[in-house]
Structure 1
């Protein structure tokens, strides 16, 4: 079971033992991580699960597809590391992954 560390904009860390096959959004939601609203339930249509994935993890997490990139273009705080956490499925290779949340999602 990989350990994922969700980091709020203020630096507060939320380590989560996540199940393989869940999305990052589902793992955050199931462990009450603040800042991941996921209003659309994980279908990639609302961007309320916007996160930053460090470049060194892109090979493991995968790159955003065209639809995700288009949705991210409308997100406040978007940058090269932006992803929708509902579009990233957890695997054992993600043990130690650090997921950062943008300031706009700091509730």
Structure 2
């Protein structure tokens, strides 16, 4: 019963949040919470230290902004394309990095993340 009451309170706070707090702030908090859940999944359950999470986060943001601003697509379609790009990037990075463990896995993910950074910078 206490768990159900806590869940109801959390649901009430989530429903009221856009009316009480700044909506962009709430969206950023939710994005970073998802980012933290990904770290918890990879480090906590799989025991793999990855420095490549920012590549997916930044790559999806870059593609979304580019498709909306330059191509003139609606934001919903831009978000879908950014998500698809990030998923494709994850598939490619995973195929290269998952065969290693320990410091080798961390360095491969760092190198791949830096490649995405420099591609976005150029």
TM bin, normalised by shorter chain, reads: under 0.3
More helix by share: 2
Q: Greater relative contact order (Cα 8 A, min sep 6): structure 1 or 2?
A: 1
TM-score w.r.t. the length of structure 1 is: 0.23
TM-score, with length taken from structure 2: 0.21
Higher radius of gyration, 1 or 2 = 2
Which structure shows the bigger proportion of residues in strand conformation? 1
